[in-house]
């Protein structure tokens, strides 16, 4: 089993988050200046895809977003 962490990042006025909801990953984008309901959300097959999808949805280059671990370690079945 792989062990990973959900991720979150602040990029400009956006707060990006991922969450594991077996068997998929959910992603969310919120306005960092007005926390509350997500501006955008979606589902992806992998953590990496969720991180990329969240960044691209708000026009960011995925490779420059500074993601950080969030929450407890998650075990993902192989």
**Tens digits of per-residue pLDDT, 6-56?**
999 999 899 999 999 999 999 999 999 988 888 999 999 999 999 999 999
Give the pLDDT score at 14: 95
The region, left, alpha or beta by phi > 0 then psi within -120 to 50, assigned to residue 71 is left
pLDDT at 78 over 80: no
Give the pLDDT score at 28: 96
SS (H, E, C) 7-23: EEEEECCEEEEEEEECC
Cα 54 to chain centroid distance, Å, stands at 6
Give the pLDDT score at 2: 83
**Structural domains in the chain (count):** 1
Handedness of CA 33, 37, 43, 46 (dihedral sign): positive
Could you tell me where the DSSP H helices lie in the chain?
47-57
Give the pLDDT score at 5: 95
Domain region containing 67: 2-76
Give the pLDDT score at 37: 80
């Amino acid at each position: 089993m792989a062990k990973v962490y959900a991720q979150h990042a602040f990029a400009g006025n956006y707060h990006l988050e991922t969450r594991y909801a077996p068997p998929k990953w959910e992603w969310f984008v919120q306005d960092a200046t007005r926390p509350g309901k997500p501006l955008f959300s979606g589902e992806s097959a992998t953590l990496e895809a969720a991180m990329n999808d969240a960044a691209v949805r708000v026009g960011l280059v995925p490779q420059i977003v500074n993601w950080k671990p969030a929450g407890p370690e998650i075990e993902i079945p192989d």
